[in-house]
Chains A and B, each alone.
Chain A
Amino acid sequence: MKGGRRGAAAFAVLAMVAMTACEREPRRHVVEIGAMAYEPAALEVAMGDTVAWSNGDVVPHTVTFANGESDADHLDRGDTLEIVAREAGTVQYRCRYHPSMVATLIVR
């Protein structure tokens, strides 16, 4: 995973809280970044699941939450950003570089 990084602590929007015991095993979901879009554009996950954004596009992108803007979310081609969903809710994120790139993460 070239240039991969973990951003579990980087996003206030997914505040860190102790993960409650859950009966299912946490899953890993992948959002592919390509063709100037996030795919899927809307993703529903469970608390404790990991979401990985993988940039396979020609150009760099970001995965930037409403109140989590940071240079740490810059993804070059081949980079992957992972976070663990810790709080239920629906949040939008976007690419800071490309205004038309927006998507939604739903944590149940």
Chain B
Amino acid sequence: MPTIRIALAAALMGAAVPAASQERLDDLEMTHVAVTASNIDVAYAHLALALSDNQAVRDFAETMIRDHTAVNEQIFALAKRLGVTAKDNEMSQKLLADAARTKDELSRLRGAAFDRRYLQNEQAYHRTVNGVVENSFIPNLQNPEVKQAFQAALRVFREHERHAGLALQSVATR
């Protein structure tokens, strides 16, 4: 059940279009992208807990770990019930490569510089991924239960985007 071209999603991610961009993402590949995106955000959050003393940053990071872990657990439970496994794909790999560079950049920062950059990245990352999920994934998902899971997750991630903005304001005024 091919549904969406990687080229479209990659363009929305602000990424270069992979060479194999004529491939399409199906439900299992979109699920893999969503799980990967959540895992990346959990990794960013662990970095924040290791490097930041700012309470707003730490609270936000703990919420990212709590929420993305919960969302992924539900996706895994749904996949298990449906008897399917998410499929790795080029877009997931691109996300991971970009995240490695971002983590490298963040890990070189300390103090207020880290706090601002972490939250700026969180706001931008959620805005971008949310846009892809809302405009590219949800309209093209075929399985109603998977689509419903993505819709529920998107409501959570929209809140994360707002939360990152609020936290960023709080550290910017310090």
B156 and A58 contacting across the interface, CB-CB below 8 Å = yes
Report B130-174 CB contacts with A as 1/0, cut-off 8 Å: 000000000000000000000011011011001100100000000
**Given A58-B70, A59-B67, A98-B63: A36 in contact with B156 (beta carbons within 8 A):** yes
For the complex formed, measure the closest distance between the CB of A58 and the CB atoms of chain B, giving whole angstroms.
5
Interface residues of chain B: helix, strand, loop or mixed (majority):
helix
Give the complex CA separation of A100 and B70 in angstroms. 19
In the complex formed, the residue of B with least CB distance to A97 is B63
Q: Per-position contact with A for B49-73: 1 when CB-CB < 8 Å, else 0?
A: 0000000000000010011001100
Report the bound CA distance from A57 to B149 in whole Å: 11
Answer yes or no: A68 CB below 8 A from chain B CBs. no
* Docked pose: A59 CA to B67 CA in angstroms: 5
Evaluate contact between B153 and A58: CB separation under 8 angstroms.
Answer: yes
Does B74 have its Cβ within 8 Å of any Cβ on chain A?
Answer: yes
What does DSSP make chain A's interface, helix, strand, loop or mixed?
loop
- C-alpha spacing A101/B67, complex, angstroms: 15
Whether A99 sits at the interface, judged by CB under 8 Å, is yes
Set of chain A residues within 8 Å of B163, measured between Cβ atoms: 98-100
Assuming the contacts A58-B152, A98-B63, asked whether A77 and B159 have C-beta atoms less than 8 A apart, the reply is: no
B166 touches A99 (CB 8 A): yes
Residue on A nearest B63 in the bound complex, by CB: A97
Q: Among B67, B153, B166, which residue has the most Cβ atoms of chain A within 10 A?
A: B67
Q: Are A99 and B162 in contact (CB-based, < 8 A)?
A: yes
Chain B interface (Cβ within 8 Å of chain A)?
Answer: 63, 66-67, 70-71, 74, 152-153, 155-156, 158-159, 162-163, 166
Q: Taking beta carbons and an 8 Å cutoff, which residues of A are in contact with B?
A: 35-36, 57-60, 77, 97-101
